[in-house]
A and B are shown apart, each in its own frame.
Chain A
């Protein structure tokens, strides 16, 4: 465990406890944001697609979550090309977290001024 090693090197017991607690926690919002990062490469920044691939921003979390898990099935939904290959890299908990993350983003930017 690297935690122990650097903590001992730092020579601070409190640091050890805090660092271990941090590691044991569920993924932070920052972790989820990083996990969601490459989704934007196809679905657009913040999951707002410029077209051709579905937008995922602001869709209900349960819908997104069910869709993501459906890609994991032996027979993915008709028309699936690539999502079945990608979702296998994520645990169900991660897929739920991603669904929550994108559900909380507004489908269009609040300050958008109709500029295309």
Chain B
């Protein structure tokens, strides 16, 4: 069983078991015969909430437990619009009542540890949950210290605001109290990181805020890359709406920040140039959420390798991992993709419990960004497994046309909001405010 690539042992059992259960009933695990089983999902974001919902919907007899410390989950997507003054923070909050109504047991505790041999999850309060299948959707953790000078204490002065919550409020407060004419610096990381267009949408929304409230202010983007998501569209939009307010410095022009002095709101780039900010936003290097390490599913990259067909961990059986924590390139680390991956994992988990063949996977991504009110852009892609690897399907997807009417941009801005409402409903069952 060690050399084949496309089919895991579980899938093989599924295929054979579904067609001829009688023949194999002795050697098959009990759960493959349709008897109800136990699923634990760790993480209540786009990936985890979707997995819990679709597994419970797919087979209400399964015991599905969702472990998420927050009673109300705030999404990173659309919090940039909060910086632009276009949405309240609360509009990005989602509760778990609908999942409970569906029969999902929601436990508001931190998952502290996973024993992948005993197949248990230990909660911070000491309780232990047994699982037959585990879904991890832990999102990202910050690699504290990977960028010299940027540790947890530094983030209290120079926020990352890359996980929605107190960090979002801190950055908003700093922007609100900044004097007109100040310099906002955003340091953008090298790939891979959560939400590839995110730093550039944030720039757009801060620029909108400055334009309306603090028009003498400037924005400097120091980037550890030479190219970024939807780059042409963003740069066109910045010029159109914000003129010379935004300056983007790529890696090749000494854009890479190598040292942060949070006390002085100062950064130093590769070639020793220092920049002092009025408000400093560091989007730091990242890795998979800590529980993935505890479960033994991360590799030396800090991210989680997965079997492309199923999103089961490539390293540990019966643990499925979805969302930003995975190494799933060319898929981006987006909420949309986390939701789509979770549905594929859910379908595989359902099939394995019922002894049915593993379904053909399918994913897509659509990601909207707002450059100004009524001016939205998007990128889309359709994915498949090609030669055993995740790949974009040729000649599909792509970004919004570079030349487009204002009506087109306005439609995409409206579709962005409609998308957010739809995916919130699809993931948590909630309606955004």
A contact set with B: CB distance below 8 Å: 2, 5-6, 9-10, 12, 14-15, 18-19, 21-22, 27-28, 30-31, 33-35, 37-38, 40-45, 49-53, 79, 81-82, 85-86, 88-90, 116
Contacts and interface: CB of A to CB of B under 8 A. Distances in A.
Contacts of A88: 382, 393, 395-397
Contact of B347 (A2, A18, A30, A40): A30
B425 A44 contact: yes
Contacts of B378: 81-82
Nearest to B364: A38
Given A31-B360, A34-B362, A52-B417, A40 B393 contact: no
Contacts of B3: 5
Contacts of B20: 14-15, 18
Given A44-B425, A85-B396, 16 more contacts: A2-B4, A5-B4, A9-B1, A14-B20, A15-B16, A18-B16, A22-B357, A30-B347, A37-B347, A37-B362, A38-B364, A42-B366, A50-B422, A51-B421, A52-B415, A53-B415
Nearest to A44: B422
- Provide the main secondary structure of the chain A interface: helix
A35 B362 contact: yes
B356 A30 contact: yes
Nearest to A36: B362
Contact of B16 (A19, A31, A38, A41): A19
A75 to B, nearest CB: 13
A114 B425 CA distance: 16
A14 to B, nearest CB: 7
Interface string B120-145: 00000000000000000000000000
A25 to B, nearest CB: 9
A5 B4 CA distance: 7
Interface string B1-31: 1011111000010011011100100000000
A34 B347 contact: yes
B380 A34 contact: no
A51 B340 CA distance: 20
A43 B20 CA distance: 38
Interface string B379-417: 011101000000001011110100000001001101101
B425 to A, nearest CB: 5
A42 B112 CA distance: 34
A12 B393 CA distance: 35
A49 B360 CA distance: 25
Contact of A6 (B12, B19, B357): B12
Nearest to B348: A34
Contacts of B340: 37-38, 41
B150 interface: no
A83 to B, nearest CB: 9
Contact of A28 (B359, B362, B384, B421): B359
Given A10-B16, A30-B356, A85 B347 contact: no
A10 B380 CA distance: 41
11 contacts: A2-B7, A6-B1, A12-B16, A21-B19, A22-B357, A33-B359, A34-B347, A37-B362, A42-B366, A85-B397, A89-B382
The residue among A18, A31, A82 with the most chain B CB atoms within 10 A of its own CB is: A82
B362 A2 contact: no
Interface of B: 1, 3-7, 12, 15-16, 18-20, 23, 54, 336, 339-340, 343-344, 347, 351, 356-357, 359-364, 366, 378, 380-382, 384, 393, 395-398, 400, 408, 411-412, 414-415, 417-419, 421-423, 425-426, 429, 431
A70 B16 CA distance: 40
A51 B414 CA distance: 11
A14 B23 CA distance: 10
| Best-surrounded residue of A14, A34, A44, A51 (most CB of chain B within 10 A) | A34
Contact of B344 (A15, A34, A45, A85): A34
Contact of B359 (A5, A12, A18, A30): A30
Contacts of B411: 79, 81
Contacts of A9: 1, 4
Interface centre among A21, A49, A52 (most CB of B within 10 A): A52
B366 A41 contact: yes
Nearest to A25: B357
Given A52-B415, A53-B418, A86-B380, A37 B344 contact: yes
A41 B422 contact: yes
A37 B15 contact: no
Nearest to B365: A38
Contacts of A38: 336, 339-340, 343, 362-364
A89 B124 CA distance: 44
A8 B336 CA distance: 39
B380 A6 contact: no
